[in-house]
């Protein structure tokens, strides 16, 4: 009942030309894919051109970040409604790299996610523990704080426009993926938490993506887990064939 969502996070890679070429390569490889929501997230400067390149396809566009104000004297920021204007339907919020290098907190994640949803975007809210936190047995506590803080003040209705991405920081870009069981364990905890905060129906409906070194050869095992509803893919999304193989995990 939950449509799987596979999102490619292109991070700080690819010029406009490279990004449009990638989406043009991807289109035929996923054209016959159904029952999977396919999303790619290029850098801001490539968004509107990639949007033009993907027009009429089954690929959706995401930004990698946004601000929470609609407009004003906020030099360097981009508002959710401008992302919509550029063709986005989704936005990634609170990726661990933003938390680690750009000072994002559960509070800023919460404001951004609310503003994104108010502007009509789907917010992909990222959570995940560091290696030190996992080794100190703090994984569940960290996840609980991040999910509770990130979704604070959400209505059940607004939650239907949110997606949670569980990305253990130690698995991002390291080639070291969480095992299927490790990922499922945390996903089940997140769904239980959403049930406690927003009710069972909301928990049953929300999609929880796994991220962290997802590749064509490990996606099937991850997607077979009860509470894993998709993937947020970094490195393997930068090439059309590997990303298409992940999108087509069920083939």
167 is a contact residue toward ligand PGA (CB under 6 A): yes
Are 251 and 220 a contacting pair, CB within 8 Å?
Answer: no
Residue among 37, 60, 90, 95 flagged as catalytic: 95
How many residues lie near ligand PGA (CB under 6 A)?
A: 13
173 is a contact residue toward ligand PGA (CB under 6 A): yes
* DSSP letter assigned to residue 79: -
Is 167 known to be catalytic?
Answer: yes
Is 95 known to be catalytic?
Answer: yes
Phi, psi of 5 (to 5 degrees): -125, 125
What is the smallest separation between the CB atom of 195 and ligand PGA, expressed in angstroms?
Answer: 25
Task: Please identify, using beta-carbon distances, which residue of 97 and 227 lies nearer to ligand PGA.
Answer: 97
Are 64 and 234 a contacting pair, CB within 8 Å?
Answer: no
User: What SS3 class is residue 144?
Assistant: helix
214 is a contact residue toward ligand PGA (CB under 6 A): yes
Task: Please identify, using beta-carbon distances, which residue of 115 and 209 lies nearer to ligand PGA.
Answer: 209
What is the smallest separation between the CB atom of 198 and ligand PGA, expressed in angstroms?
Answer: 25
What does the block give as tokens for 71?
């407009």
What is the smallest separation between the CB atom of 171 and ligand PGA, expressed in angstroms?
Answer: 6
What does the block give as tokens for 7?
């999102």
To 5 degrees, how large is the angle CA 211–CA 92–CA 136?
45
Task: Please identify, using beta-carbon distances, which residue of 150 and 212 lies nearer to ligand PGA.
Answer: 212
Among 26, 59, 93, 232, binds ligand PGA (CB under 6 A): 232
Task: Please identify, using beta-carbon distances, which residue of 39 and 203 lies nearer to ligand PGA.
Answer: 39
Are 235 and 173 a contacting pair, CB within 8 Å?
Answer: yes
Nearest-CB residue to ligand PGA? 234
Task: Please identify, using beta-carbon distances, which residue of 28 and 173 lies nearer to ligand PGA.
Answer: 173
| CA-closest candidate to residue 7, choices 149, 120, 159, 126 | 126
CA distance 30 to 22: 12
Please choose, out of 16-24, 81-89, 193-201, 234-242, the segment that lies near ligand PGA by the rule CB under 6 A. Answer: 234-242
Are 62 and 29 a contacting pair, CB within 8 Å?
Answer: no
Burial of 171 (0-12, 13-18, 19+ CB in 10 A): buried
212 is a contact residue toward ligand PGA (CB under 6 A): yes
- Residue ranges binding ligand PGA (CB under 6 A): 9, 167, 172-173, 211-214, 232-236
The set of catalytic residues is 95, 167
């Amino acid at each position: 009942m939950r449509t799987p969502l596979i999102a490619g996070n292109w991070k700080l890679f690819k010029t406009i030309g490279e990004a449009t070429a990638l989406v043009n390569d991807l289109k035929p490889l996923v054209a016959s894919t159904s029952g999977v929501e396919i999303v790619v997230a290029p850098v801001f400067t490539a968004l509107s051109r990639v949007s033009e390149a993907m027009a009429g396809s089954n690929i959706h566009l995401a930004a990698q970040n946004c601000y929470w104000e609609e407009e004003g004297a906020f030099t360097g920021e981009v508002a959710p409604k401008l992302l919509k204007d550029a063709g986005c339907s989704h936005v990634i919020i609170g990726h661990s790299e933003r938390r680690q290098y750009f000072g994002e907190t559960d509070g800023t994640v919460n404001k951004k996610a609310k503003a994104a949803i108010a502007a009509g975007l789907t917010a992909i809210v990222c959570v995940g523990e560091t290696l030190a936190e996992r080794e100190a047995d703090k994984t569940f506590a960290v996840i609980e704080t991040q999910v509770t803080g990130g979704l604070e003040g959400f209505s059940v209705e607004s939650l239907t426009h949110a997606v949670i991405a569980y990305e253990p920081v130690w698995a991002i870009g390291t080639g070291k993926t969480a095992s299927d069981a490790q990922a499922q364990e945390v996903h089940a905890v997140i769904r239980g938490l959403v049930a406690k905060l927003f009710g069972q129906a909301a928990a049953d409906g929300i999609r929880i993506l796994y991220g962290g070194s997802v590749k064509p050869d490990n996606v099937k095992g991850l997607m077979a887990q009860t509470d894993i509803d998709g993937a947020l893919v970094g490195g393997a999304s930068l090439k059309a064939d590997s990303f298409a193989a992940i999108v087509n995990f069920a083939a």
